[in-house]
């Protein structure tokens, strides 16, 4: 073959070609070495793609479908790669127990795919002693005593929700309940976190609402995110440049709102009963009842108050974590009622008998046994956070499984909750799975809608309260029905929150009884 044409090429072109060849070979070697980890360990998993690893599964199928398919194909322990970052996927209940509880000292932190200056002081991203301090300081703000004080605020938002749903009964068109419940949870967060009344149910164009929705529009295909997953070394540069992966102008809006609210409290802190005020007062609070049973001693860590940066970061975390998760849980609760009319009637009977047409108190709402069984089953089939993770502080061997230092350990909650080994006929909606007798038979580490151990979701009580108060108020007046527009087998959105990709169209009809 005559290759003399190569020597006749311009010098700059030959140099460029050589450099590109060297770069490609270097990247190939880099990618191959990173992607050998699980193969060398003898851990099964899907074959990673050059540099991207298994990211395309996320993009094409979403996390829910990816976890379901890979867990079925590779079992309860397998490896994947987020770019070049290894992720050990574990849905073995005993391993989960060891990692999250018994050996928590070896796995005290969450694995953070990306860095963040703004959220570095948030409870989910904080590490080691800083996290322990934050957890100790923030825990009392979510005690049952504090939540009881917030019930009147939640009731006000529930009343607006009922009015909003009442408007829908006059329309022949089935409404999409995802934005309806999104507006409800938005109002609660604005009131309970920031002390602001926005009434997004009546005013969807409010600036608070607009910025909140845009802030939640986080794309897994963000080029900078993918770059960080392929070259994690860049995270230090992103931190130095103060780059944020969330939409910056929306986040800055809430920073401004939070700072303004904190400034008001410095002038006059009377009359506020919201999350911000509780954080301001947290270092004086001795009520830590919410952490009684999570298996970790936090004594000695609450030695100071929160800084302004810590209050801002955790107020924003509360907002971002609570908005989409609770509204999605309520959306699927409405869907479960519409598609399981027998369950709906049992729940209506319990509400009528125990509460009637009265406004429920904290104790009466949380004390409804069938409602608790029903909502538990909603969270089993549709866990709002479809994954949670931890990272290893050191290389450890647990139950014969070697877990390397620094690796991401992910629990695929959605797949775990639908594993037929633990849940007979897992696709069936059945609240009877949560009778005391059935719960006693089952391994408790197969049901983890709020995570597990010392890093269990701090806001779980508030989420359950606002969901249950909404369900009670709605069923005191209405019944849910499916319509031709209802997607009976919902398609799930691609991200880490379990929510319907195509909306949730249902009809409500007044009870008339």
267 pLDDT above the threshold of 80: no
pLDDT at position 121 is 84
Most confident region among 154-158, 275-279, 300-304 by mean pLDDT? 154-158
d(CA 91, CA 445): 9
Residue 12's pLDDT band, with cuts at 50, 70 and 90, is low
- pLDDT of the residue at 276: 80
pLDDT digits (tens, 9 = 90+) for 358-401: 999 999 999 999 999 999 999 999 999 999 999 999 999 988 88
Q: How many other C-beta atoms are found inside a 10 Å radius of the C-beta of residue 143?
A: 19
Query: Higher model confidence: residue 123 or residue 344?
Result: 344
pLDDT value at residue 429: 98
Please give the pLDDT value at position 14: 58
- 27 or 93, which is more confident: 93
**Average pLDDT value for residue range 258-272:** 74
Lowest mean pLDDT among 100-114, 225-239, 292-306, 451-465: 292-306
Task: Name the maximum alpha-carbon separation found in the chain.
Answer: 92
Q: Which two tokens stand for residue 242?
A: 């103060």
Range with lowest mean pLDDT among 7-21, 307-321, 372-386, 461-475? 7-21
Tell me the mean pLDDT in the region 19-30: 82
- What local confidence, expressed as pLDDT, does residue 265 receive? 76
State the Cα–Cα distance between residues 237 and 127, nearest whole angstrom.
Answer: 20
> What is the number of H-type helices and E-type strands within the chain?
20, 8
Average pLDDT score, the chain: 85
Two tokens, residue 76: 């309860």
Q: By the 8 A CB rule, do 258 and 276 touch? A: yes
More confident residue, 291 or 443: 443
Highest mean pLDDT among 51-65, 277-291, 381-395: 381-395
**Range in 199-203, 307-311, 479-483 the model is least confident about:** 199-203
Residue 356 is encoded by which pair of tokens?
């009637």
The torsion angle over the Cα atoms of residues 198, 199, 202 and 207, rounded to 10 degrees, is: 20
Report yes or no: 81 and 50 within 8 Å, Cβ to Cβ: no
Question: How many Cα atoms sit within 13 Å of 510 on the Cβ side?
Answer: 9
Averaged pLDDT, 263-284? 72
The residue ranking higher by pLDDT, 216 or 155, is 155
Q: Write down the pLDDT at residue 244.
A: 67
Q: What average pLDDT does range 269-283 have in this prediction?
A: 72
Q: Which domains does the chain have, with CATH numbers?
A: 39-510 (1.10.630.10)
Indicate whether 207 pLDDT > 90. Answer: no
Residue 26 has what pLDDT? 83
Higher pLDDT, 475 or 185: 475
Q: 181-206 pLDDT, tens per residue?
A: 988 988 888 887 777 777 777 776 77
pLDDT value of position 395: 93
Q: Which has the higher per-residue pLDDT, 295 or 237?
A: 237
Position 219 scores a pLDDT of 60
Q: Which residues contact 379 (CB under 8 A, 6 or more apart)?
A: 329, 449
């Amino acid at each position: 073959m005559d290759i003399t044409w190569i020597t006749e090429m311009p010098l700059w072109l030959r140099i460029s070609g050589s450099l590109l060849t060297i770069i490609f070979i270097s990247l190939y070697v880099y990618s191959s070495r990173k992607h050998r980890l699980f193969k060398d360990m003898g851990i099964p998993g899907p074959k990673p793609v050059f540099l991207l690893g298994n990211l395309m599964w996320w993009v094409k199928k979403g996390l829910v479908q990816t976890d379901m398919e890979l867990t079925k194909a590779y079992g309860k322990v397998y490896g994947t790669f987020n770019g070049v970052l290894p992720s050990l996927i574990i849905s073995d209940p005993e391993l989960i127990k060891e990692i999250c509880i018994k050996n928590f000292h070896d796995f005290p932190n969450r694995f953070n795919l990306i860095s963040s200056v703004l959220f570095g002081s948030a409870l989910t991203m904080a590490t080691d002693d800083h996290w322990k301090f934050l957890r100790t300081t923030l825990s009392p703000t979510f005690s049952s005593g504090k939540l009881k004080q917030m019930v009147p605020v939640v009731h006000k938002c529930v009343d607006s929700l009922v009015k909003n749903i009442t408007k829908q009964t006059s329309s022949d068109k089935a409404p999409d309940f995802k934005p309806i419940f999104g507006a409800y949870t938005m109002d609660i967060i604005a009131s309970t976190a920031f002390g602001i009344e926005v009434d997004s149910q009546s005013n969807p164009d409010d600036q608070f609402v607009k910025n909140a929705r845009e802030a939640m529009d986080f794309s897994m295909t963000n080029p900078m995110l993918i770059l960080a997953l392929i070259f994690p070394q860049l995270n230090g540069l992103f931190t130095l440049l103060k780059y944020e992966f969330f939409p910056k102008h929306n986040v800055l809006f809430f920073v401004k709102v939070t700072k303004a609210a904190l400034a008001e409290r410095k002038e006059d802190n009377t009359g506020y009963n919201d999350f911000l005020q509780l954080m301001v007062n947290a270092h004086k609070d001795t009520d830590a009842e919410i952490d009684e049973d999570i298996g970790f001693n936090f004594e000695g860590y609450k030695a100071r108050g929160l800084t302004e940066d810590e209050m801002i970061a955790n107020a924003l975390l509360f907002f971002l974590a609570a908005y989409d998760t609770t509204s999605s849980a309520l959306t699927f609760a409405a869907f479960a009622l519409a598609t399981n009319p027998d369950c709906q009637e049992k729940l209506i009977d319990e509400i009528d008998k125990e509460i009637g047409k009265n406004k429920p108190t904290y104790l009466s709402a949380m004390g409804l046994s069938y409602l608790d069984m029903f909502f538990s089953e909603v969270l089993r089939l549709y866990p709002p956070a479809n994954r949670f993770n931890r990272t290893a502080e050191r290389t450890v061997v647990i139950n014969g499984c070697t877990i390397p230092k620094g690796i991401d350990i992910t629990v695929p909650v959605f797949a775990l909750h639908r594993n037929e080994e633990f849940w007979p006929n897992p696709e069936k909606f059945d609240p009877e799975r949560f009778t005391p007798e059935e719960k006693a038979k089952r391994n408790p580490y197969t049901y983890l809608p709020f995570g597990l151990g010392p890093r269990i979701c701090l806001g779980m009580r508030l989420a359950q309260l606002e969901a249950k108060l909404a369900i009670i108020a709605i069923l005191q007046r209405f019944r849910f029905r499916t319509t031709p527009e209802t997607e009976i087998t919902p398609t799930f959105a691609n991200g880490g929150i379990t929510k319907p990709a195509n909306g949730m169209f249902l009809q409500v009809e007044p009870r008339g009884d």
